[in-house]
A and B are shown apart, each in its own frame.
Chain A
Amino acid sequence: MEKAERLQKLAQAVLEMDVEGIVPLVEDSLAAGLSPVEILAEGLSAGMRQVGERFKQGEIFMPEVLVSCDVYYRGLEILRPLIRQTGGGPVRGKMIIGTIYGDIHSVGKDVAVPVFQAAGYDVIDLGVDVPDERFVEAIREYEPDIVGLGTYMTSTFMHTRETVRVIEQAGLRDRVKIICGGPAVDPAAARRMGADDASDDAWEAVGKLDRLVEELRAARRSV
């Protein structure tokens, strides 16, 4: 099988939610000599981009998107240690992400994380119901560019103010950009609460991440 054909099959497996088929496909591709970075960037991630396009067109819906994300993850689990060994490909930025304190929903984050990874971000997922102090620890530990706060209810979105305050109090606010995500967020309200932006659409959020990382790097250069 040609390389292009293999990559297309990988992308197709993500798009068609092939939960069982993805692992042998990734293993076969590795055995055929494709690099882990190629498989990720041109196979799995290409599939995730197609998932986004079809979702935006109203051709697939949230349940299918979630399962496609699971398929992407299954493939990524095999590739991640190999990519780490080889130093990996280019990274657009580093991000920590977690569902804000008091909120156990992950339906949005489960989509956002693979979309961001597929777009070239190094994403560390802190899980759900993440205490504010954990965000502080994770900023110190991982030194990210972006902190992503998943908030899925209006009342938990309001906790953004408190999370930002704790990050500020720890003296870390200038080191990161903070973005809220979820169906109940509002960019203006997020800024009023001290965050930098918000989005209810993972694919749209990639553009916002790029802009925030650029702003952060410009601020770092000017210091």
Chain B
Amino acid sequence: MSEIVDAWVRRLKGKLRPIGEMTHWERMAAAFELRRSDLVPVAPELDYWQITYAGYSHAEIYNDVDKTTDACIRTWADLRTDAIWMYVDISHQIENFIPPEKRPEHFVHRGDKDYLLFKPVAKTIDEAIELYESRAYERYLEGSRAVTHYVPHMLQLLEFQEKMDRIVPVIVGIATPSNYAETLVEVQQFVRWTVTEPKKVKRYLDLALEERLAALDFYAEIARKHGLHFVCLFGGARTWGPRQLREFGYADEIFVQKAVKLFPYVFWHICGHNLPEAMQLLVQWDGIKAVQYDMPYYSQKLSWPEWCESVARLFAGKRCAMNSPTTQTACHGTPEDVRRMVREFLDATLPHTTAVVMPGCEVDSYSPVENVRAMIEEARRKPLP
């Protein structure tokens, strides 16, 4: 029971104007199941943006679960997107790998709109392996923000979802083994080691996988008791090449195989410059219903519509495509740039598969409100084929 959730439920339940014929939940579910929906769903990953939109600073919400939840619901009530993304910061993910007395060295608040800066937990591959072998993440779990902030916030949003009779889904992000493995040591180091220390990288990934598979059991319990249905698997491996995908992709694949058995609506997040081979893998991994993808890889000389169409053709009959505008355009472009990019994505995608308007990565805190509104309006305006 949460007072902040109950206050919002009293204010909103039965009083919201319908957006279309379907509820937000039904619209998202239809897109995931490759069925026709009444409108194109729009579900931007609002992340830090929703905190400042709701009038809070990051420092203000950092240690206040109620304000975090309030920001997410307040933003949704205003914008009526088709999903509520829970707020996650990097300390939620890795604080339980760090002894309590050392945590202040690892996280730096820079400004009200800026991401929490974090410093890697391990500097060498051997240190990283040792972190897992010594099960540091279990030893330091109690009192970490994973327990004190991440879980309570997730439960509050799921409580809201359930008390609102599932008219809108809450999206919970779960990091994959590759994401954890890269985050703990910093991606540039990890990527080098895939070339210079492949055996140790395999050992490291195996350990990360073991921890992540156990974490899924925890989320499965949340799903059973609290109605977690929509899960975003945050993939790492964004700077890997085809060789790395072939040699090390197994860890994420095993993780996916378990996740898709636990949650009905699983999608994969792959931001950055996407390799065609990575997109092909995501089509092969059974059970993923949608892919939040981003920009084409550096060596692919494709326009935005060509890129979106090539992905849509690949996804036809298999995956829902989630994209547009790019995080960069949402932040630096004009509302018209945003509208054009959304239109181009939908025009290229809808003839082949279903679509959700959702930038390939988070909406940055500095993104103008009018750009986010333009994204939503353009999605709502698009007639379905």
Chain B residues contacting A63 (CB-CB under 8 Å) are 191-192, 194-195, 239-241, 243-244
Q: Cβ of A110 < 8 Å from any Cβ of B?
A: yes
**CB-based contact B196/A67 at 8 Å:** yes
Q: In the complex, what distance in Å separates the CA atom of A103 from the CA atom of B244?
A: 26
Distance of A181 from chain B, by nearest CB (Å): 13
> B residues 79-112 with Cβ under 8 Å of A?
108, 110-111
- How many A-B pairs have beta carbons closer than 8 Å: the answer is 97
Q: Cβ of B366 < 8 Å from any Cβ of A?
A: yes
Chain A residues contacting B114 (CB-CB under 8 Å) are 102, 155-156, 159
How many residues from B make CB contacts under 8 Å with A? 39
**CB-based contact A61/B275 at 8 Å:** yes
**CB-based contact A154/B196 at 8 Å:** no
What would be 30 A-B contacts, judged by CB atoms less than 8 Å apart?
A55-B298, A56-B299, A61-B241, A61-B243, A61-B244, A62-B191, A62-B240, A63-B191, A63-B195, A63-B239, A64-B241, A66-B191, A67-B195, A70-B192, A101-B110, A102-B108, A103-B117, A104-B120, A105-B186, A107-B239, A155-B364, A155-B366, A156-B114, A158-B331, A183-B273, A184-B327, A186-B328, A186-B332, A189-B328, A200-B298
Per-residue CB proximity of A102-123 to B under 8 Å, as 1/0?
1111110010000000000000
**CB-based contact A110/B115 at 8 Å:** no
Chain B residues contacting A185 (CB-CB under 8 Å) are 328
The 8 Å CB contact of A57, one of B120, B299, B365, is B299
Say what secondary structure dominates the interface of chain A.
loop
> A residues 17-58 with Cβ under 8 Å of B?
17, 19, 55-58
Q: In the complex, what distance in Å separates the CA atom of A105 from the CA atom of B120?
A: 10
Q: Cβ of A188 < 8 Å from any Cβ of B?
A: yes
Q: A105-B187, A155-B114, A189-B332 are in contact. Are A64 and B195 (CB under 8 A)?
A: yes
Known: A64-B195, A101-B110, A107-B239. 9 other contacts (CB 8 A): A55-B298, A58-B300, A62-B240, A63-B243, A66-B191, A67-B195, A110-B188, A155-B365, A183-B273
Q: Cβ of B249 < 8 Å from any Cβ of A?
A: no
**CB-based contact B239/A56 at 8 Å:** no
Q: In the complex, what distance in Å separates the CA atom of A19 from the CA atom of B192?
A: 11
Chain A residues contacting B328 (CB-CB under 8 Å) are 154, 184-186, 189
Residues of chain A having any CB pair with chain B under 8 Å: 17, 19, 55-58, 60-64, 66-67, 70, 101-107, 110, 129, 153-156, 158-159, 183-186, 188-189, 200-201
Chain B residues contacting A102 (CB-CB under 8 Å) are 108, 110-111, 114-115, 117
Q: In the complex, what distance in Å separates the CA atom of A185 from the CA atom of B329?
A: 10
Chain B residues contacting A154 (CB-CB under 8 Å) are 327-328, 331, 364, 366
Q: In the complex, what distance in Å separates the CA atom of A63 from the CA atom of B191?
A: 5
**CB-based contact A155/B113 at 8 Å:** yes
